[in-house]
Structure 1
Amino acid sequence: MALGTSRRAVLKASVAAMAAATMTKLAWAKQDGRKILKIAVQDFRPVFEPMHPQSAANVAYRVDESIFDGLLRLDYLGDFGVKPALASSIDQADETTYIVKLRPDVKFHDGTTLTAEDVAFSYGPERLLGDKAPGRQMKDRFLSSLKSAEPIDDLTVRLKTSEPDPVFQKRLATWGGQVISKRAYLAAGSFDNWARAPIGTGPFRVAEVKDKDHVLLKAHDEYWGGKPSLAEVRFILVSELSARVAGLLAGDFDLITDVTPDQIATISKAPGFKVLGGESAVLRNVNLDMAHNPVLRDVNLRRAMSLAIDRDAITKSLWGEKVSVPLGEQLKYFGDLYDPSRTSPAYDPAKARELLAKSAYKGERIPYRMLSGYYTNELAEAQILVAMWQQVGINVEIEIKENWDQVYQQPGTGLNNDTCQMIYPDPLSVLWRCYGDASSYQAEEKAWSNQEFNELGKRLQSSTDTAERKKVASRMLDIFETEDPPAIVLHTMTNLYGVRSGINWNPYPVANMDLRPNNISIGE
């Protein structure tokens, strides 16, 4: 707790020190008469192929959103409905067949024109469908039902699924549904070469990448959605929040990500600045690696760890009540599949001690690996959790690591931090995508597996009966939360951005940053 207080004091001091600079109007960087947007981020990935394993992360979603389009788009700022994008229409011919008509005269970043051949290749065996295709692992996670894609004519594509898929069009509208250039992919020579400089149809193209420093995107002026309002977008790596805040107020950056709630007032009160965003459709979890740490296999210990956490105290002290404690691993956006009858995870330290007494746990040290600031409030929250666990007799020790490889390196794993972003409004995009049999948690880390959970997940993704799907999702939540928990859900997250006042932009409730010309403009 002391460290959290100290950090806030340092941040306030940094803000105060920069206040004088904000009294002078800051000049905008420009090119060809348009603004250059400089965004300070806590991290980014130096690969931009959506189906590359390194791209399945919130820090990748925010950048790649500007590089690619899909056949469809999800209306994150409205009703979360599916809207046309590269497809002008999509018709379902039968329960497993979709006929897609493409928008004409769409240009890729290299000036070539989008055709049905590009769409078929994007979803085809060389990139996704083949057993040894480089994107197969991600395909199984994001487009699991996709079976084939074939061109009918230059602007028509037939897509087939292996089974009825209740969310197939939502999949096409979100992550994994991006369309790429067949010609550019084949010319790249290798998947890794391609991933660093891919060609899409989005409003910006990758112009320069310097790992651990910055990503430069330049405007794609032939963008089918209109000429971008920005000349360039620069994502600049600034790991420390205090440095991002200071740089924003000094005019080094125009927008900063991952602002903590305790900085809203200080940024907003500085002349010429504001904070955008709010609670997000992202769940914050602590994952439990019971496959490699035998201590965590005791379900009574796992249940006790959850019961020892006062989530309301955390959301008030660290988050200023800008986040909420969900009713389990689900979000209100799920509509008919949301179950309001479920309860939030309980806080009951007495019950936690009782379960510990029934368990085989004898006070063994449980490592808690993390990066110090990848997630908002990450270290401060971890320190609070460790203190709460200690109060009931659970010995957890924090281990700060330099990168994710070190976090997952064997031996010595135990707990690690995670978030689960809602890709589209359905339990498949949260509970199943993040913890199902194709998830990184099961398929890569091999930290947990539950046969019934996996069998139910298969039913959830193939049934088109809403009542049955809701029943299946409820049973999966029972397993996840109580019977065999692979993780501990804490609360939702925030997407808060510090922004110069001249920026008119509508942030999504997810990590993706939409910088298309219809969603961002900049005044003087």
Structure 2
Amino acid sequence: MRPTCAAARGPPCAISARATDPPVITTCRRSPPRPKEPDMTARLLLTTAILAATTAAASAETLRMALKAEHPSVDPHFSRTSPGQNTASHIFEGLAGIDETLQPVPLLAEAWENIDPTTWRIRLRDGVTFHDGSTLDAQDVIATFERIPNVANSPASFESNVAAIATIEAEDDLTLLITTHEPTPDLIEQIGSVYILPSELGTEISSRDFDAGTAAIGTGPWRYGGWTPNERLTLTAFDDYWGDAPAFSDVLIRFIPNDAGRVAALIAGDVDVIDAVPAGDVPAIEGRSGAQMVAETTGRLIYLALDSDREDSPFVSAPQGGNPLQDVRVRQALSLMLDRQMISDRIMNGTATPTGQLVPEGFVGWTDQVPVPQADADAARALLAEAGYPDGFSITLHGPNNRYQNDAQILQAVSQLFARAGLTSTVEAMPSNIFFDRASQQEFSAFLGGFGTTTGSAIRGLQQVIATNDADAGTGGFNRTRFSDPEFDALVAQAAQAFDEAERDALLAQATVRAFTDQQAIIPLHFEQQIWALREGLTYDARPIERTLAQDIRPAD
């Protein structure tokens, strides 16, 4: 396998590997670290003083953004959902970032070395400063990983990101030695996205302390300024940031879930940037504001989840009794009822890419063995009859009405297509905060969901959305229907341990066929396209990921 270099900024790295070895990645660069602040009380007092100064300061260089979705907490470990990570990525950083192809690149980790299939050495970047003035070291990473299981009431936990770790120790202030329970080729992708906190915060610090600002201490380009839920978040540029300085001194992020409200704010000049622009509004924005548009197809999959686990499901009923969704032929029939291209053209205004699998073409794990399913109502009816439901059944579809692009309209379109094929179908859409809480409690029979692949590989999504829900194994964290198939689980587990790329790709192809053709674990619909609008004079370095980051926005000149 070709060795991969993870060094960034600095002298060339030394690379060595035999053809049969896992990748070996090394680099050398170090300067003396600054002392850490050991006293927690002093840390919190200093942070409070910083926040007070930040609030008092007024800046003429403020970037004003309006975003559709708001984080549930400032705590970077509370939720792995996109809104939570979007906010966290301003204030906090992980060991690894992502490049334009969503592959891992050095961030707080300067380099990593795979010593053997279960042993990794990670070298931290030297001289990185937290917002309270202390310096990053190995103990911060260890304490952060220990905190993850202690985050209370997390709707989308980071536990699976650290589940592979068997032991972690500090070889010195800037070097970590990690052993895993089993071979884990994508360990850096897993642990790299966990936001690192100063160890002095401890492993029991509550999410409330982050929301209040006293614990919102990261290494990112922006310091926490203040948060008014359902209204705004303020940030201030961190003068001692180790990387490229932000182009603005302050950021004001307004949360406007209503699409028309965000568009109106941009046209009126009240904000400089908006995200999640409805495709149908693009001509009006360009014509009335002169704003420029930036579009990027993302790894955000929109899908229909089906309760195939329970004998009795609350929102599906048939004269024969029981739960029709347990029969794979019924699940396959529902997929055949859906005209994905029509949904893309009419509901998404041509800005969605129809699919029948988890990741877009070009991502690791995509396979041509699973083509986009074509709508076939007659074949669907035949499958229903074969399964014992010639007269169909009744089903209620649930979903959010303010989370994904045109989510409520998609639900209505799916319901109508089901009805045309002989089902009695109704829709219940609700605000996302209510929806996700209920979905996590398994209150639905069928619901509209979304999963954003942020690593360029299908492995994590297959593990989290479709694999059996198993907290000890770190799988199924987003499997809210409790679908379970041991054969699929085994294929994904083997792929996750394969250092050889050809072997991994073959296993992922088999797993994808098993999940989306043989078992129809979920019904994929399409990948979203993210559209941003920026006032004249700004540029945005967009990537195929659902984030709108102030550090990626700069004046055009």
Do they fold alike, i.e. is TM over 0.5? Answer: yes
* Matched residue, 1:11: none
How much has 1:236 moved relative to structure 2?
1.6
Whether 1:35 and 2:61 are equivalent positions in the alignment is yes
Look up the equivalent residue of 2:62 and give its one-letter code: I
Aligned-residue RMSD, C-alpha: 2.7
Look up the equivalent residue of 1:329 and give its one-letter code: L
How much has 1:351 moved relative to structure 2?
0.2
Look up the equivalent residue of 2:200 and give its one-letter code: R
* Matched residue, 1:165: 184
Q: Distance in 2 between matches of 1:137 and 1:376?
A: 20
Residue 332 to residue 411, structure 1, CA distance change in 2 (3 Å)? closer
How much has 1:409 moved relative to structure 2?
7.5
Q: Distance in 1 between matches of 2:167 and 2:156?
A: 16
Residue 477 to residue 89, structure 1, CA distance change in 2 (3 Å)? closer
**Which one of the candidate residues 64, 76, 93 is aligned to 2:88?**
64
Within-5 A mapping of 1:353-368: 353-361=381-389, 362-368=391-397
- The 8 Å contact of residues 435 and 442 in structure 1, kept in 2 or not, is answered as no
Residue 140 to residue 185, structure 1, CA distance change in 2 (3 Å)? closer
Q: Distance in 2 between matches of 1:138 and 1:379?
A: 26
* Matched residue, 2:134: 112
**Which one of the candidate residues 48, 62, 68 is aligned to 2:74?**
48
* Matched residue, 2:222: 204
* Matched residue, 1:521: 554
* Matched residue, 1:504: 539
Q: Distance in 1 between matches of 2:538 and 2:57?
A: 17
Structure of greater relative contact order (alpha carbons < 8 Å, 6+ residues apart): 1
How much has 1:490 moved relative to structure 2?
0.6
How much has 1:266 moved relative to structure 2?
1.6
Q: Distance in 2 between matches of 1:462 and 1:121?
A: 26
Look up the equivalent residue of 2:487 and give its one-letter code: E
How much has 1:106 moved relative to structure 2?
1.0
Q: Secondary structure at the match of 2:419?
A: helix
How much identity, in percent, do the aligned residues show?
A: 23
- The 8 Å contact of residues 289 and 486 in structure 1, kept in 2 or not, is answered as no
Please identify, of 297-306 and 85-94, the stretch whose mean Cα deviation from structure 2 is larger. Answer: 85-94
Whether 1:436 and 2:436 are equivalent positions in the alignment is no
Look up the equivalent residue of 2:554 and give its one-letter code: S
How much has 1:196 moved relative to structure 2?
5.8
**Which one of the candidate residues 485, 489, 509 is aligned to 1:474?**
509
- The 8 Å contact of residues 308 and 481 in structure 2, kept in 1 or not, is answered as no
Whether 1:392 and 2:411 are equivalent positions in the alignment is no
Q: Distance in 2 between matches of 1:341 and 1:331?
A: 13
* Matched residue, 1:424: 455
How much has 1:342 moved relative to structure 2?
3.0
Q: Distance in 1 between matches of 2:479 and 2:421?
A: 32
Q: Secondary structure at the match of 2:444?
A: coil
Whether 1:311 and 2:340 are equivalent positions in the alignment is yes
Q: Distance in 2 between matches of 1:495 and 1:230?
A: 24
- The 8 Å contact of residues 358 and 366 in structure 2, kept in 1 or not, is answered as no
- The 8 Å contact of residues 185 and 194 in structure 1, kept in 2 or not, is answered as no
Look up the equivalent residue of 1:37 and give its one-letter code: L
**Which one of the candidate residues 138, 144, 147 is aligned to 2:163?**
144
* Matched residue, 2:329: 300
- The 8 Å contact of residues 62 and 248 in structure 2, kept in 1 or not, is answered as yes
Residue 409 to residue 167, structure 1, CA distance change in 2 (3 Å)? closer
Look up the equivalent residue of 1:149 and give its one-letter code: I
* Matched residue, 1:193: 209
Residue 230 to residue 148, structure 1, CA distance change in 2 (3 Å)? farther
Q: Distance in 1 between matches of 2:118 and 2:441?
A: 42
How much has 1:189 moved relative to structure 2?
4.3
Residue 227 to residue 165, structure 1, CA distance change in 2 (3 Å)? same
- The 8 Å contact of residues 460 and 469 in structure 1, kept in 2 or not, is answered as yes
The structure carrying a bigger helix percent of its residues is 1
Q: Secondary structure at the match of 2:428?
A: strand
Residue 452 to residue 38, structure 1, CA distance change in 2 (3 Å)? same
For these two proteins, the number of residue pairs brought into alignment is 481
- The 8 Å contact of residues 98 and 160 in structure 1, kept in 2 or not, is answered as yes
Whether 1:263 and 2:281 are equivalent positions in the alignment is yes
Q: Distance in 2 between matches of 1:261 and 1:473?
A: 33
Within-5 A mapping of 1:238-277: 238-277=256-295
- The 8 Å contact of residues 340 and 354 in structure 2, kept in 1 or not, is answered as yes
Within-5 A mapping of 1:379-418: 379-402=408-431, 403-405=434-436, 407-408=438-439, 413-418=444-449
Look up the equivalent residue of 1:496 and give its one-letter code: I
Q: Distance in 2 between matches of 1:317 and 1:44?
A: 27
Q: Distance in 1 between matches of 2:437 and 2:161?
A: 26
Q: Distance in 2 between matches of 1:440 and 1:170?
A: 15
Whether 1:101 and 2:119 are equivalent positions in the alignment is no
- The 8 Å contact of residues 39 and 233 in structure 1, kept in 2 or not, is answered as yes
Q: Distance in 1 between matches of 2:396 and 2:355?
A: 26
- The 8 Å contact of residues 81 and 156 in structure 2, kept in 1 or not, is answered as no
How much has 1:118 moved relative to structure 2?
0.8
- The 8 Å contact of residues 262 and 320 in structure 1, kept in 2 or not, is answered as yes
Q: Secondary structure at the match of 2:468?
A: coil
- The 8 Å contact of residues 206 and 217 in structure 1, kept in 2 or not, is answered as yes
- The 8 Å contact of residues 142 and 433 in structure 1, kept in 2 or not, is answered as no
* Matched residue, 1:491: 526
Look up the equivalent residue of 1:117 and give its one-letter code: Q
How much has 1:442 moved relative to structure 2?
5.9
Deviation string 1:340-398 (CA, Å, 9 cap, x unpaired) is 34311221111011111122445432111122221111112221111111111122210
Deviation string 1:475-516 (CA, Å, 9 cap, x unpaired) is 222232133223110111011112212221112211123333
- The 8 Å contact of residues 267 and 289 in structure 2, kept in 1 or not, is answered as no
Q: Secondary structure at the match of 2:252?
A: strand
- The 8 Å contact of residues 104 and 455 in structure 2, kept in 1 or not, is answered as no
Residue 234 to residue 379, structure 1, CA distance change in 2 (3 Å)? same
How much has 1:319 moved relative to structure 2?
2.7
* Matched residue, 1:86: 108
How much has 1:247 moved relative to structure 2?
1.1
TM-score in terms of structure 1 length: 0.84
Q: Secondary structure at the match of 1:397?
A: strand
Deviation string 1:393-430 (CA, Å, 9 cap, x unpaired) is 12221012232256428685122111121121222122
Q: Secondary structure at the match of 2:493?
A: helix
How much has 1:104 moved relative to structure 2?
1.9
- The 8 Å contact of residues 294 and 542 in structure 2, kept in 1 or not, is answered as yes
- The 8 Å contact of residues 211 and 227 in structure 2, kept in 1 or not, is answered as no
Look up the equivalent residue of 1:357 and give its one-letter code: A
How much has 1:274 moved relative to structure 2?
1.7
**Which one of the candidate residues 68, 74, 80 is aligned to 2:98?**
74
Q: Secondary structure at the match of 1:455?
A: helix
* Matched residue, 1:19: none
